[in-house]
Structure 1
Amino acid sequence: MNFKFFRLLALMGCALSAPHYVAAQTPAPAAPAQAAETKDINEWLMRMHEASRNRSYVGTFVVSSGNALSSAKIWHVCDGTQQMERVEALTGPPRSTFRHNDQVVTFMPEQKLIRAEKRESLGLFPALLKSTGSQIGDFYQARQEGRERVAGVDADVIALVPKDAMRFGYRVWAEQKKGLVVKLQTLDIDGKVLEQAAFSELQFDAPVKIEKLAQMMNKVDGYKVERPALVKTTASAEGWALKQAVAGFTPMSCHKRPRGAQGGEAPMQWVFSDGLASVSIFVEPFDGQRHVKESRMSLGATQSLTRRVEAYWLTVMGEVPMTTLSLFADGLERKK
């Protein structure tokens, strides 16, 4: 199961801790009509968010991105404060991922390897709700588009429409009773579907126990356990800055990963979000053997570009149009 699958799984069902959102600036007071529109989209998003605190389920999850198709079995349980999840890959190499709040443990049986890490940059289900700030309504509007059935579940269909060409749109199918997201499409600026993620079968109130999943998560005998080290930092402390903020996108986190035995300067990841979409800036020392050609790539909704900046190699990646990534790449500058 590849990175693409887990990115979309994060959008629909990961049980990770939500980061605190700090607005880049205080927006001007909204006109009455604008205030009502903002409240409307926030109400939809909060309803989807809260659904995860009240629903346990077992389901089969399918992601379609470009020509790639991935699927997994999901066991999800929560009690309002604790969230636990098991994701079993049904396509690709065997792999099981357990999430307990912000702790993530991935079992790779073919390599007899376990990767254990803490992920702070993703939000509670659904990760569409990366913030609770009203700024989302400044850049998106919500529009109900009817009702449909998905995996035997009656769902409201909601379009999250961007107000500019700097971000993609979304179409969300939310369970009518409590708002759990059962299907998600990411749309380009022309309304074309770039990616789709949906449950093909879903059983609510399944007999899933947090204690049972926790026991499975902690059964590491016979495996080598890796714990990738992430160090919190700031872009400023690492000598980087954006010349100008990209409209709507706020810094959410910044980490660096030690190079270990290789030594040298640690790679940095700087994450931004507008509340729905996210963009990551990766910076590492330039390596003439690995960093050969600057590139632009698209895989479903995920766009990426690479380029050299002085003695560094820059990779910008996100679920936004390429023009938005270019604004980040062009605006990054070395301060020391």
Structure 2
Amino acid sequence: MRAIAFIALLGWLVTPAQAAEPQDWLQRMAKSAQQSFHGTFVYERNGNFSTHAVWHKAGADGVHERLLQLDGPAQEVLRVDGRPQCMSDGLADEMPDVQWSSRHLDAALLEKRYDLRVIGRSRVAGRSAVVLVLMPRDQHRYAFELHLDEETALPLKSLLISEKGQLLERFQFIDLDLSDAVKDEALLPSATCKPVSFNKVAELTQPWRAGWLPPGFELNQSLQRASPTSSDPVAYLMYGDGLARFSVFLEPLHGVAVEDSRRQLGPTAVVSRRMATADGDVMVTVVGEIPVGTAERVALSMQAAAATASSAQ
């Protein structure tokens, strides 16, 4: 079942939207990161729900945001311009690839990869919203349904939908306040939020690149972090097409026995494979909200930059 039929069946759309260009809404959405707000949202994945508080403050010194899980473990993340500054112990061993709507959107480029449609209106967290659907033009990404605030274009609700019309992931505000400025005190992390520091991957002696990427995906950021099993840094590459995203981790194994694996955890594909290099075996892991077949092809294409240069000669 196509995603649009699935959406209509569940009755998420309430009235026809006023005439508007989807590209305009996407551009407004990109600018909505400069809107300060605080509120509460629910996140659904694999049938599990969690509730989170968010404080988001945009100013001359950048965009500061603090997220705090309100049920279950009190997980916490503090970010500045999308880059984590501290996170709870339970998150310390994971590089978060979830970014707020501050990601840079290029409607013209997205239109090459998605069929963009404004298909209705809805009401989320007591606010009127316009419903925008992005249907993928290939098999390398999923469909998105975005409920954008009519006043600010801030995403009030986001659904990630598979090619079979299955709901993979839901983000939805249940309370949102845009009327008051976020106070600096609200952005102060608790004692359980441990500082995070990253160095640029360009400083590594062994840089990496993907030999194949899904059309429209680009390298957004390259970092490195300490390995939990050795003194060698783990390379971390982040790719995106403006909406969909995935990350690639490359960790030296030093003789550690590991097996290749491929898993689909709700919307998230996790593919790991051992790769032989001149300096020893490396474990390549691709993690992201893309089909598992796409993630596997990316993992198989990873190359050491030095090897790529020599093969091109």
Shorter-chain TM-score tier: 0.7 to 0.9
Q: 1-side partners of 2:176 and 2:239: how far apart? A: 33
Match of 2:221 among 253, 261, 264: 253
Q: 2-side partners of 1:99 and 1:250: how far apart? A: 22
Q: Deviations over 1:266-318 (max 9, x none)?
A: 211122211211121111112555x5332212222111111111211111111
Match of 1:267 among 219, 234, 238: 234
Check conservation: 1:105, 1:114, Cα contact below 8 A: no
The 1:307/1:101 distance shift into structure 2, 3 A limit, reads closer
Task: Name the amino acid aligned to 2:180.
Answer: A
Q: Deviations over 1:79-135 (max 9, x none)?
A: 476433332211222233333435544464xx7x997xx99x876x415x4443732
Match of 1:50 among 31, 49, 63: 31
Check conservation: 1:303, 1:322, Cα contact below 8 A: yes
Deviation at 1:178, TM superposition (A): 1.9
The 1:246/1:285 distance shift into structure 2, 3 A limit, reads same
Q: Is 1:331 aligned to residue 305 of structure 2?
A: no
Q: Deviations over 1:233-286 (max 9, x none)?
A: 289x625443344322112222222448942x3211122211211121111112
The 1:314/1:174 distance shift into structure 2, 3 A limit, reads same
Q: 2-side partners of 1:144 and 1:234: how far apart? A: 44
Match of 1:160 among 125, 131, 134: 134
Check conservation: 1:106, 1:114, Cα contact below 8 A: no
Task: Name the amino acid aligned to 2:24.
Answer: E
Q: Is 1:281 aligned to residue 262 of structure 2?
A: no
SS in structure 1 of the partner of residue 160 of structure 2: strand
SS in structure 1 of the partner of residue 116 of structure 2: strand
Q: 1-side partners of 2:272 and 2:174: how far apart? A: 36
The 1:261/1:229 distance shift into structure 2, 3 A limit, reads farther
Check conservation: 1:130, 1:273, Cα contact below 8 A: no
Task: Name the amino acid aligned to 2:289.
Answer: E
Deviation at 1:190, TM superposition (A): 2.1
Of 89-98 and 268-277, more deviation after overlay is shown by 89-98
Q: 1-side partners of 2:259 and 2:91: how far apart? A: 33
Deviation at 1:44, TM superposition (A): 2.0
Q: Which residue of 1 aligns with 2:164?
A: 190
TM-score, normalised with respect to structure 1: 0.72
In structure 1, the gaps of 5 or more residues are 1-38
Q: Which residue of 1 aligns with 2:101?
A: 126
**What pairs with 1:1-336 in structure 2 (closer than 5 Å)?**
40-54=21-35, 56-79=36-59, 82-102=62-82, 104-106=84-86, 108=88, 125-127=100-102, 129-132=103-106, 134-209=108-183, 211-213=184-186, 216-217=188-189, 226-233=195-202, 238=206, 240-259=208-227, 262-263=230-231, 265-286=232-253, 289=256, 292-310=258-276, 311-334=281-304, 335-336=306-307
Q: 1-side partners of 2:193 and 2:270: how far apart? A: 32
SS in structure 1 of the partner of residue 34 of structure 2: coil
Deviation at 1:65, TM superposition (A): 0.2
Task: Name the amino acid aligned to 2:259.
Answer: K
The 1:80/1:192 distance shift into structure 2, 3 A limit, reads farther
> Percent identity of the aligned residues?
25
Q: 2-side partners of 1:307 and 1:234: how far apart? A: 24
In structure 2, the gaps of 5 or more residues are 1-19, 308-313
Check conservation: 1:62, 1:70, Cα contact below 8 A: yes
